[in-house]
Chains A and B, each alone.
Chain A
């Protein structure tokens, strides 16, 4: 397949140039996916899909055009490239200024994400047996009214070629797995999920991810908690000390740091849909985003871990990089691309252009936006907290369109008194203003408790694209946080 894909790429670039494009890049992609779910002891979804096609992005008359097709013939690809140029020329009818791109070298490379077990080669029978067994464990727990499990595997091949001479092939293998138990009782629905809500954990790994999760050990635990939540005390409404489990902190990072640093949002390119950002250009290197113990990076390199934001090159042909976002509490960097880098004084893109598939335009995306580990042992953190609430596993999330005011609720909370977890709390929630919240952080756990969480469902762009992002986080403590607002009357 590789030879024909490179031929299509060359064909598209040649056609685009002939039609008047001053720059062109092409992504030919082959995506394969397997989805398995169970519900109440029965198989729910069992499906496999593949999608193959080509997307052509060009600059003509100083403006962008993009066209995509799954008609992979010489004629089909040439027509697609010609159409991209035609669209670019139409864009120029209402352009604001000519697009200027930061320089980048040409790369010829091939890269494959590391994995030990190809999930699409693991017998389906094995995968289903594990899910059904975990499902059965949860069903056994009294009071559970709905059990759900899922696995998702993806293998993505992409062939990138550009008119500056890059030829980059990448293969990514992605796995995801999770389980959940729901209990309806007395006019109340409670749910617990493992290892995270909304599909569990997802990473740039093979089937070894699933095996590492120990589903059978955790299934009865979360089912028991879901049933027990009905009798738990309601999370109080107050200002107090909050400890966030790593899975919830990952989403907090995503929403209140990851999105506001996207330079396309900052520059108003997402104003109509995803929104803008409070991080206006004058804030760079000036804003005290967080307390001095907070360090956040956007790191797409394999050295950072096998997250959903890990790759060798972005979809604009720029090598993976690590960018300081928050250093010792100070705001230090944005996520940029070749078109926007110069607007923040950079001479090079930070390498964050990503596309969902061959039929979508690459846009600025989070890579792995992670809070670096701190110095605390988890047990010491709990012991050091005389009065607080620990919140675990997201239930709902919402933040305003400039990424200031947020509210999160989690599936379960634990009251901490005298340095010990003393009782379960139901319906926990907290809210705040982004910078005030991050400036209240006074403890972050060590690398031992640090996980590179995967958020597989980040929606952005028009037409909408769903992208996976990574967020490394260890449990952390925040002071004087508003707690319980979601259920205030």
Chain B
């Protein structure tokens, strides 16, 4: 794992990454809180330190209009005593403020009824290492981002189009420790480029996300969005109904991301999951397998959860059958299972969730899916997706930024955007082809590893005016 101080180096322009906490300083804050808590009535104490240094350059109308940087360190303290626990968070790092956070936590907890199910904090754990701190990303400057944006805007102007989007880069680091000797730390870099190219009245979109800024090419993304926007200028209106759809990975992600909570053991125990009474049954097609795997090379995130428990790889769906749930320590104890390292920081009412879903995927490509389709729709992106029916997992939303008619194996025209009302369970029964899974990024779900999909009988209920 690369340590944070390397980010202090400058490259070209003026770096935004000055003075991040060193690993020693991170650990020092935790040790200070634990030491201060010893002189209080806290029987156990847990400390989280999170630091973010993020920059984002935003452009619209072929120019930068917003350009921001933030640097935040938060310290969050949970105390436990007599079956009572509560959390207090501050971003003031002086000793008086840290002591005050401990006192607030104790004071909050003091008012609680005793919880006989409250578990003692976990002891020292072992963690598998992951390296997601990329120096090249940490070294990106405002000038670097501005130059990339300038190129994209120049392309738009040359094509008679209008560009809007973002280029972001940043560093985050986190540490958790408790009075029973647990200590874990993690740092990562992140970068995103997203672009919408508008050619009146149409628009199209492309986006990439990676820990490594060198793994995507803003100009290629701009070119792709530009080409698709041009293709989308002349639209025809089709009648709503059931269509075969080819969903690009971003569209798949933003739909299946809504399964996020359903695989949580607490959601099933609360009977608010679509998997109530469905575990072990053939719910999806046999071509659907899903794991939660923070260690997958295309994933990001810390290898530990909100209590500092090591994240495990969990097979949640095996050939269409929901096999396993993810567990926090509390939900695992209630179900007599082992915790899987997916718990949120305590106290909370949601328990846990898989944060790193990886779909098995297939061997097709979007091009092959198009070529194999007599009549269907190619979907670039979906928008404003919300849950209509939590048990059948019916989702509604709109297509956006490029919906294309496929006829006889080729794209023939653009189509006015549709509203869909589609059960995700039914959708995952109707998957005919999949590409290999990729790190997808959209706007409705956090990033996951999912394929493009060809799906039959996707339900579009209404059409909009553009």
List chain A positions with a Cβ less than 8 A from chain B: 37-40, 42-53, 63-71, 79-80, 83-84, 86-88, 90-91, 93-97, 123-125, 128, 132, 145-146, 148, 182, 184, 187-189, 267-273, 275, 278, 359-361, 363, 395-402, 404-405, 407, 409, 427, 429, 431, 433, 462-463, 482, 485-489
Contacts and interface: CB of A to CB of B under 8 A. Distances in A.
Contacts of A396: 386-388, 396
B384 A398 contact: yes
Contact of B92 (A52, A83, A407): A52
Given A93-B146, A272-B60, 9 more contacts: A47-B108, A71-B71, A93-B64, A97-B63, A189-B272, A271-B60, A272-B58, A400-B383, A409-B388
B115 A42 contact: yes
Contacts of A407: 396, 419, 421, 461-462
A67 B164 CA distance: 21
Contacts of A463: 54, 56, 68, 70, 168
Contacts of B421: 407, 485-488
Interface stretch (B194-202, B211-219, B309-317): B194-202
A268 B60 contact: yes
B228 to A, nearest CB: 14
Contacts of A38: 349
A44 B146 contact: no
Given A90-B146, A128-B112, A396-B386, A187 B391 contact: yes
Given A125-B111, A189-B390, A86 B64 contact: no
B347 A43 contact: yes
B14 interface: yes
B243 interface: no
A485 B418 CA distance: 13
Contacts of A409: 388
A46 B108 contact: yes
Residue among B54, B66, B104, B349 having the largest count of chain A Cβ atoms under 10 Å: B66
A45 B306 CA distance: 14
Interface in B20-68: 54-68
Contact of A145 (B89, B92, B270, B417): B270
Contacts of B205: 272
Contacts of A64: 64-67
By Cβ-Cβ distance, the 8 closest A-B pairs, closest first, are: A96-B63, A44-B349, A90-B142, A405-B464, A49-B89, A271-B164, A184-B271, A94-B150
B407 interface: no
Contacts of B277: 187
A400 B270 contact: no
Contacts, number: 284
Nearest to B152: A94
B69 A398 contact: no
B456 interface: no
Contact of A51 (B74, B86, B113, B398): B74
A272 B194 contact: yes
A91 B349 contact: no
A188 B14 contact: no
15 contacts: A39-B349, A44-B347, A47-B86, A48-B105, A68-B71, A79-B18, A90-B13, A90-B142, A94-B149, A96-B61, A132-B113, A188-B391, A269-B164, A272-B195, A485-B461
Nearest to B60: A269
B386 A397 contact: yes
Nearest to A94: B150
B401 to A, nearest CB: 8
Contact of B115 (A43, A401, A486): A43
Contact of B391 (A95, A189, A270): A189
Given A46-B109, A90-B146, A433-B465, A462 B56 contact: yes
B153 interface: yes
A409 B72 CA distance: 38
B143 A48 contact: no
A18 to B, nearest CB: 16
A268 B164 CA distance: 8
Interface string B398-429: 10110000000000000001010100000000
Contacts of A405: 398, 417, 419, 462-465
Interface of B: 13-14, 16, 18-19, 54-74, 76, 85-92, 104-105, 107-109, 111-113, 115, 141-143, 145-147, 149-150, 153, 162, 164-166, 168, 194-196, 198, 203, 205, 270-272, 276-277, 347-349, 383-391, 394, 396-398, 400-401, 417, 419, 421, 443, 459, 461-466
A409 B419 CA distance: 14
B63 A398 contact: no
Contact of A50 (B85, B90, B113, B419): B90
B353 to A, nearest CB: 15
A273 B384 CA distance: 11
A398 B91 CA distance: 36
Contacts of A49: 76, 88-90
Given A87-B142, A272-B195, A400 B398 contact: yes
A398 B385 contact: yes
Contacts of B18: 79
A400 B386 CA distance: 12
A380 B276 CA distance: 44
A125 B14 CA distance: 51
A94 B165 CA distance: 13
A225 to B, nearest CB: 17
A272 B164 contact: yes
Contacts of A87: 16, 55, 67-69, 142
Nearest to B266: A39
Contact of A67 (B69, B347, B394): B69
Nearest to B92: A52
Contacts of B459: 489
A53 B72 contact: yes
B388 A429 contact: yes
Contacts of B149: 94
B109 to A, nearest CB: 7
A49 B19 CA distance: 24
Contacts of A361: 66, 68
Contact of B62 (A96, A184, A187): A96
Contacts of B271: 145-146, 182, 184, 189
Contact of B388 (A44, A68, A486): A486
Contacts of B115: 42-43
Nearest to B205: A272
Contacts of B385: 398
A44 B67 contact: no
Nearest to A96: B63
B270 A39 contact: yes
Given A125-B111, A400-B464, A52 B142 contact: no
A278 B105 CA distance: 49
A397 B398 CA distance: 11
A43 B108 CA distance: 12
B54 A487 contact: no
Contacts of A47: 86-89, 108, 347
Contacts of A96: 61-63, 65, 153
Given A97-B63, A269-B61, A45 B270 contact: no
A121 to B, nearest CB: 13
Contacts of A80: 71
A86 B142 contact: yes
